[in-house]
Amino acid sequence: MEKTIDILFKDFLPAIATLLAAFLGAWFAFILENRKKERELEDKNIAAGNRALFVLIRQLNVLLVFQKQAIEPVRNHPGIFIAMEPLLPRTYDSLKFDVDSLSFLLETDYRQVLMEIMIEELSFQETIRAINERSRIHFTQVQPLMEKAGIIEGGEYKNSDFERILGNRLYLHLRRLTDAVVDHVDKTVISLRKMSEELRNVLRKLYPDAKFIQLKENNN
C-alpha cells in the first residue's frame, strides 16, 4: 500500500509542481499588471494635478500683470475711472480646467477642492469679462466724447468736468465698472494664490513622492 502511495505521489508530483508553477506565475503576473495599472493611474493623476496648477498660476499671472501695470499706477488717483488704461479684449479661453481629469479628487477626503477650483475658474472669467467690458466702454464711448471735448492727456480736470462731458449715466456707469474691475482683480488675485497653494498641498499629501510645480512670484 505504501509503495502504491509512493508511486502515485511520484507520478503526480511533477503535475502538481507544474500546476503550482502555473498558478504562481499567473498570480505574479496579475499582481504586476495591477501595479502597472496603479502606476499608470497615479502618473495620470499627477499630470492632471500639474496641469491644473499650471492653469491656476497662469490665471494668477494674468491678473498680477494687469494689477501691476493698469491698477497700481492710478489706484489712489481721484479720476481712476478715466486714468486706468483700457486694454484690447482678451478671452483667455485656453485657461480653463480639465475638470474630468481631476475627478479622482472626488474619491479622496479632499473632494471639496474640485468645487473650489471650478469656483476659481468662474471668478477668473468674470474678472476678465469685467475688464473687457470696461475697456469696451472706454474705447467706444468715453474716448470719443473726451476727444470731442478737447480733453488732453496730462491735463488737470475735475470729476465734475468728466461728468459734464460724459453725461451722468455714462459717468456713473464707468465709475461703477472701474470699481468692479479693481475689486474683482484684487480679490481674485488673493483667491487664486490661496487656491494654488491649497491644491499643491493636497496633491503632495496624495502623492508625496511626486513633484508638483510651485508658484514663484517676482516682487520686483
Q: Check whether 24 has a pLDDT greater than 90.
A: no
Considering the chain, what percentage of its residues have pLDDT values greater than 90?
70
1 pLDDT higher than 70: no
pTM reported for the whole predicted model: 0.81
**Domain spans of the chain, in order of start:** 48-206
Residue 157 pLDDT > 80, yes or no?
yes
Region 82-88: mean pLDDT is 93
Q: Per residue in 31-44, pLDDT tens? A: 555 565 678 889 99
219 pLDDT above the threshold of 70: no
Amino acid identity, position 33 = E
Residue 206, classed as helix, strand or coil, is helix
pLDDT digits (tens, 9 = 90+) for 98-127: 999 999 999 999 999 999 999 999 999 999
Q: Which of 55-64, 156-165, 175-184 has the lowest mean pLDDT?
A: 156-165
pLDDT the model gives residue 215? 77
pLDDT confidence band for 26 (50 / 70 / 90) = low
Mean pLDDT of the residues in the chain: 87
pLDDT for the residue numbered 160: 93
Nearest by Cα to 219 from 52, 92, 67, 86: 67
What's the confidence (pLDDT) of residue 111? 93
Question: What does the pLDDT read at residue 196?
Answer: 95
pLDDT of 163 reads 95
Question: Taking a C-beta distance cutoff of 8 angstroms, is the pair 181, 134 a contact?
Answer: yes
CB environment 44-74: b (16+ within 10 A), e (fewer): ebbebbbebbebbbebbbbbbebbeebbeeb
Measured CA angle at 177 (ends 97, 217), to 5 deg: 45
What pLDDT was estimated at residue 33?
A: 52
Cell of 120: 476659481
**Nearest of 106, 115, 102 to residue 53 by alpha carbon:** 102
Is the per-residue pLDDT at 13 higher than 80?
Answer: no
Q: Indicate the DSSP class of residue 84.
A: S
Question: What torsion do the CA atoms of 67, 71, 72, 78 make, to the nearest 10 degrees?
Answer: -160
pLDDT at 2 over 70: no
pLDDT for the residue 14 = 65
Selection from 87, 23, 32, 93 nearest residue 58 by Cα:
93
CA distances for 78 relative to 72, 82, 146, 172, angstroms: 13, 9, 17, 14
pLDDT of residue 19: 62
> 180 with 123: CB under 8 angstroms?
no
Rounded distance, CA 139 to CA 144, Å? Answer: 8
